[in-house]
């Protein structure tokens, strides 16, 4: 299982997404790809804070298609198992003098709970969480 972080899904709704990200996603079996309820919340927040207009309408439609059509049934929730991993991630960060955002810790916790890899461009933000990271922006087709 590969969980797509917010920045990957945000890239895919751009008018001209990075070619490496599109090629990487096309090379993956669709059944292996999912995202999290946290990412869904971040995407909706990003759209809803935009001023009214064409861009907001188009982005909302793109996110709607992604979440309710492309990823239907493949949005992993933050549950009690993930909650335990979240506590470990945040406590470890605090002990090490690092900070981790609540959303990043929740996404990492879901990945750990599901034994999933995380596709993200924010490699540094997840570096010490124990999650295996894939950076689709680095993808090069064989």
Contacts of 117 (CB under 8 A, 6+ apart): 1, 2, 3, 111, 131, 132, 133, 134
Residue numbers belonging to the annotated binding site for Mg(2+): 5, 104
**Per the annotation, where are the binding residues?**
5, 104
- Name the packing angle between helices 80-95 and 102-114 (round to 10°): 120
Other beta carbons less than 10 A from residue 50's beta carbon: 12
Question: Closest Cα to residue 111, out of 122, 100, 126, 95?
Answer: 126
Whether 138 and 122 have beta carbons less than 8 Å apart is answered as: no
* CA dist., res. 28 & res. 23, Å (int): 9
């Amino acid at each position: 299982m590969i969980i797509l972080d917010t920045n990957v899904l945000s890239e895919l709704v751009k008018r001209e997404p990075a070619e490496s990200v599109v090629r990487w996603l096309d090379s993956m079996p669709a059944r292996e790809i999912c995202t999290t309820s946290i990412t869904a919340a971040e995407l909706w927040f990003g759209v809803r804070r935009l001023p009214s207009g064409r861009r907001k309408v188009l982005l909302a439609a793109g996110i709607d298609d992604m979440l309710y059509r492309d990823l239907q049934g493949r949005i992993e929730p933050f549950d009690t198992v993930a909650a335990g991993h979240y506590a470990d991630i945040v406590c470890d960060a605090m002990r090490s003098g690092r900070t981790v955002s609540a959303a990043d810790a929740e996404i990492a916790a879901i990945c750990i709970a599901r034994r999933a890899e995380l596709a993200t461009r924010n490699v540094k933000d997840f570096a010490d969480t124990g999650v295996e990271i894939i950076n689709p922006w680095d993808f090069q087709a064989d």
